[in-house]
A and B are shown apart, each in its own frame.
Chain A
Amino acid sequence: MHVVTFTRSTPDTAARLTVDADGCVSQGDAAMVVNPWDEYSLEESIAQAEDQGGTATAVAIGPEVHEEALRQALAMGANAALRIDDPALAGADSIGWATVAAATVRRLDDVDLVIFGKEAVDVGSDQHQIQTARLLGWPFIGAVSRILELETGAGSMRVERSLEHGKQVLTCRLPAVISVLKDINEPRYPSFMGIRRASRASIPVWSLADLEITLPQALTMEMKLEEPPQRLAEAELLPGTPAEQAAALIARLEKEQVL
């Protein structure tokens, strides 16, 4: 069995991001970390590969900064890592990204399952996941909270999705693309042995020529980035014992018509 996860490096969530007048985003000296949502997809792909005696491959599309995420994946236990980089990727939109992703999956051996984290935390987008599935012609299931059965022999899987008002169980054929939620697992820490292996691994880089593709015309263009207007908030400490505070709080919430 072969599971592929796409991942990327994103600024540490504790980073203070600023946008300057030219729309350049700066994260100060905050570190880049693996996209937090991808910790779950990486864990799931590694665990599934371990369970089934298969291979977990982590792929990043973009410049060298994304090696950080790939090394994290290797340190956690991914069997292989791969980065796609090409000058033509600058300015690519999600369709461009999905074109590369789909071509990569096709080029890799016998991929049964592609797992994404819920979204990329920095750009807050997930449409590239669905676009990738569409370009591959594979089924897509989002918001997966559990893989109930994965039968590569029979070519099918059964998953549970977590929706706002309950759970849904779906069956689909393989190969497929899914995105997973936080409830699906408890991501492991990288192991010391894994860290050593990862920091010594040389990660192959493929270009668009290696994939034998060119990018489609971008359908969307980023026009402008700006800082959201400052929100002013005030805090007030309610006096009294916890019981008095609770009563005062309820009265206030009722007055403000929140309750």
Chain B
Amino acid sequence: MVLELGEERLQAQRMVREFVDREVAPHIAEWDREQRTDPILLPRMGELGILGICLPTRFGGQGYDYLTLGLVCEELERMDTSLRVIMSVHMGLNSLALLQWGNDEQKRRLLKPQALGEQVGAFCLTEPGAGSDVAALRATARRDGDAYVLNGEKMWVSLATRADNFLVVARHDTEAQPAHMGLSAFIVNRDMVGVTTGDIHGKLGIRAGSTGWVAMQDVLVPLRNRLGEEGEGFKIAMSALDNGRYTVASGATGLIRACLEASLRYARERRSFGQPIGQHQLVKQKLAYMQQWYDCARLLWLQAGWLKNRGQRNSRETGLAKWYATDHSVKAALEAVQLHGAYGFSDEFPVERYLRNSKGATIYEGTSEIHQLMQADYALGLRKDRTLRCELPAWDEDFWLGDDVAP
């Protein structure tokens, strides 16, 4: 694995840091308290190119690689989890799935506006009655001539009320055995008749972000909006999660860094028993652990990103990075609150927001329990990744930066 990141990627990361420090930091506590997102945020991220960061320039993206995507996610979540969630669903779960599975016409028609940040993508897998158990999902897609009629309700959808395009997994065959073979993937547009959305309020965290539901009633989806073949829905969803989880892993790593940075500041300032609290051994221990968790989480997502750049399968490595980073971001946030004493318990300091935000990531994109089962199964040899009909393309400079028009 090559660990040298190089000026270009680091500069891109710095640019994102500058943006969030200047335009988000002054408002985030208020947005979080009021449970609202500033409507200007998504267009601004689009305008700056963040929403197309790792997509080929020929599709309207910025042409950077998967490692840069990780760096950007680290930086976004260092500010607030809601910002990174945008990248997880818009880029990881939706746009990269289009890059991987879409045909040329779909890349031009659907991917390009997303890469340019003119449209925002989201991902609809979970339902009120089915989360971890994907094969149990009930939304249906009935073939009707050159179209499908979609019915069902999707729940816990990030950006439900913000996104333009939803990657929806639904059942085209209710009899299929095994059940997951009856799933197909579709791109549903918010403007299609029969689509309604709403936000969930009263969430523990990610309060500055939209999380909601998408209901579909007899939504007519043209055939050309089916992603992949009939029956490939499960594979598409799982491979999309390989990319979504990567952004969650790198983002959670940024959250650990935010906890560490806040804690270091406070440990130097706050005094007890005649010295800065950072001089007490038990406080030092917390800082040492946070540093350890940060470095480990970072190395794990870098490993996954490096494999992605090379076009190598990375489900195991990405899953491990996601599980480790998210579990440890919760720990880091807990320790950061503890280190801040009573001030950590108040929204005067950001660490209570970090704690509330950290918890979601151990639930979405595979709960920590599901990830443990997967890692054990890989280790036991019970789980093997088979080659897919469409793999995520390796980052290839000539293709990513080539300026010939989209094929």
Contact = CB atoms under 8 A, between A and B. Distances in A.
Interface of A: 71, 75, 189-193, 195-196, 198-200
Interface in B52-77: 53, 62-64
A200 B397 CA distance: 13
B4 interface: no
Contacts of B6: 199
A190 B62 contact: no
A78 to B, nearest CB: 15
Contacts of B19: 189
Contacts of A200: 8
Contacts of B15: 75, 189-192, 195
Contacts of A198: 11
Contacts of A199: 6-8, 11
Given A71-B11, A191-B49, 19 more contacts: A75-B11, A75-B15, A189-B18, A190-B11, A190-B15, A191-B15, A192-B12, A192-B15, A192-B53, A192-B64, A193-B49, A193-B62, A193-B63, A195-B8, A195-B15, A196-B63, A196-B64, A199-B6, A199-B11
A75 B15 CA distance: 10
11 contacts: A75-B11, A75-B15, A191-B49, A192-B48, A192-B63, A193-B49, A195-B15, A196-B63, A196-B64, A199-B7, A199-B8
A190 B6 CA distance: 17
Residue with the greatest number of chain B CB neighbours at <10 A, chosen from A71, A189, A191, A200: A189
A189 B47 CA distance: 11
A195 B48 contact: no
Nearest to B68: A192
A191 B12 CA distance: 8
A69 B288 CA distance: 35
B11 A189 contact: no
Interface residues of B, number: 15
Closest 9 CB pairs of A and B: A192-B62, A199-B8, A195-B11, A192-B49, A199-B7, A189-B15, A190-B15, A195-B12, A189-B18
Contacts of A195: 8, 11-12, 15
Contacts of A190: 11, 15
Contacts of A192: 12, 15, 48-49, 53, 62-64
B48 A189 contact: yes
B401 to A, nearest CB: 8
A199 B8 CA distance: 6
A211 to B, nearest CB: 29
Among B11, B15, B49, B53, max chain A CB count under 10 A is at: B11
A195 B62 CA distance: 11
Contacts of B49: 191-193
A71 B12 CA distance: 13
Nearest to B23: A189
A89 to B, nearest CB: 25
Contacts of B8: 195-196, 199-200
Nearest to A33: B14
A219 to B, nearest CB: 38
A196 B61 CA distance: 13
Contacts of A196: 8, 63-64, 401
A198 B6 CA distance: 13
Nearest to B6: A199
A75 B11 CA distance: 9
- Of the listed residues A198, A199, A200, the one surrounded by the most CB atoms of chain B closer than 10 A to its CB is A199
Interface in B11-63: 11-12, 15, 18-19, 48-49, 53, 62-63
A189 B75 CA distance: 15
A190 B50 CA distance: 12
A40 to B, nearest CB: 14
Nearest to B50: A192
Nearest to B8: A199
A189 B15 CA distance: 6
A185 to B, nearest CB: 14
A67 B81 CA distance: 35
A11 to B, nearest CB: 15
B14 to A, nearest CB: 8
Contacts of B18: 189
A199 B401 CA distance: 15
Interface in B263-310: none
Nearest to A198: B11
B398 to A, nearest CB: 14
A223 to B, nearest CB: 35
Nearest to A188: B48
A215 B19 CA distance: 42
Nearest to A189: B15
Contacts of A189: 15, 18-19, 48
A198 B10 CA distance: 13
A43 B8 CA distance: 21
B116 to A, nearest CB: 13
A74 B15 CA distance: 14
